[in-house]
Amino acid sequence: MSFLTPSVTPKAEEPAAEIAAGARLVPRITIQAFCEHSQTAQMVESALHDRRMSKVALTTHNGGIEGAVETYKSNPTPNLIIVETSLPPEAIPQALQSLAEVCDASTRVIVLGHFNDVTLYRELIRSGISEYIVLPASPQLIVTAITELYAAEGAAPIGRTIGFISAKGGAGGSTITHNVAWSIATTLRQDCLILDMDLPFGTAGLNFNQDPPHGLADALLANQKVDQTMLDRLMSKAANHINLLTAPATLDRSWDFEERSFEQIIEICQKSVPVILLDIPHVWSGWTRHTLAAIDEVVIVAEPDLANLRNAKNLADTIKALRPTEKAVSLVINKHGVPRRPEINPSEFASSVECALIGQIGFDAALFGTAANNGQMIAEVSANNKANEIYRAIGMHVTGRQASHSASKATSLLTTLPALFKKRA
């Protein structure tokens, strides 16, 4: 009588929700700018403060187009030249023709002009100029133009990098990182990768009940040999849509690294995973500082006491100085409401450290202790606990789901026609 039993069709998983992509960094290039006014030179130099320009070598010179022509008569040209000109529109093409005669074919040129002339813009683009920007302009506009210029045409979006760091040891940054990743994976159905950067004491493997033989340390020790294939082999699957690059959690060696040691690994991960969550340990080193300066989003996790307040303030101020063009650091208050403990009000805490408060996690020793001992997430132990809603809200915030990220259209198209800027024989 099986025909009387209705067939049950497995429910298909809903498609992943759209999230904000990560910022694309400008590759290692050399840029030389020739400016006619000191204000323009300062504006161009300010662009270096943008984290997207962290690999760029930029120098500024006086003289505009004429200064560039004189310089490159006897010197090789860089990857990109930025020139300011106050010439009238009808004189600019001829002046650039002189520059073209001393430039290599691969050199790109951005012109900063003082005339908002559509006809001039079209003529310059047709002749091979990469971009024409009307002054006054912002450093962010300069950076965006350079970024789009060096992004491969039709390149896929890159993964968003989100770093969690505790203001004080034991504040719970790792626990929040792992539970937020779980929330993003289950709510938004986006693939997440957790990088456990606390190599001697990391807990990602424990919290997800995993004991993989390889992990993040193997990728770091491979130096320049690391690639996407190797990372895929080193990752361990913790749950649906969640992968880990775990820490070895051993003390058989010292885990000291150079400032940019993690940079290549993170960039490779961004090409294949839409969300990368970095569990950053409570240490201060060159690589910690560089990582916090380069990633898309930084979240400080703190308990509501005085020591956490002091450390969170120091962290927030330092990160703000490292990322002057980025929005304020986010803050999560953890272990709020410990019985009989005097605590600082979360709103006052956030106001004091000048951070955006995006979540408050209440203290629940039994729940969090059970989850940690079982190697489970909070949602697995208690699906209806209100902490899950907070993790979900944090996940929505750090993936850009609460704000519109539709990029404004550029002031002009970026075109790289090589016809004009070819080295004359």
Distance spanning both ends of the chain, measured CA to CA:
88
- Tens of pLDDT, residue by residue over 132-183, are 999 999 999 999 999 888 876 556 788 999 999 999 999 999 999 999 999 9
CA distance 183 to 377: 10
Mode of pairing for the β-strands spanning 57-62 and 330-336: unpaired
Beta bridge partners of 357: 331
Asked whether the beta carbons of 390 and 172 are under 8 A apart, the reply is: no
238 φ, ψ to 5°?
A: -95, -30
Asked whether the beta carbons of 96 and 72 are under 8 A apart, the reply is: no
Q: Which helix (H) or strand (E) holds 347?
A: helix 346-353
Nearest to 391 by CA among 187, 244, 169, 168: 187
Fill in the DSSP letter of residue 272: T
263 φ, ψ to 5°?
A: -60, -50
CA distance 331 to 348: 12
Q: What is the mean pLDDT of residues 193-199?
A: 97
Q: Is residue 29 predicted with pLDDT exceeding 50?
A: yes
CA distance 78 to 108: 9
What is the chain's alpha carbon radius of gyration, rounded to the nearest angstrom? 25
Largest alpha-carbon pair distance within the chain?
92
CA distance 377 to 247: 18
What pLDDT does residue 153 have? 53
Q: How far is CA 8 from CA 12, 113, 222, 257, in A?
A: 12, 67, 49, 54
Contacts of 80 (CB under 8 A, 6+ apart): 29, 30, 31, 32, 107, 108, 109, 110, 130, 146, 149
Q: What is the mean pLDDT of residues 80-109?
A: 91
Q: What is the mean pLDDT of residues 184-198?
A: 95
- Tens of pLDDT, residue by residue over 327-382, are 889 999 999 999 999 999 999 999 999 999 999 999 999 999 999 999 999 999 99
Tokens encoding 255: 């885990």
CA distance 132 to 128: 11
Beta strands in 115-173 (DSSP E): 131-134, 160-166
- Percent of the chain clearing pLDDT 90 (strictly above): 69
Q: Is residue 15 predicted with pLDDT exceeding 70?
A: no
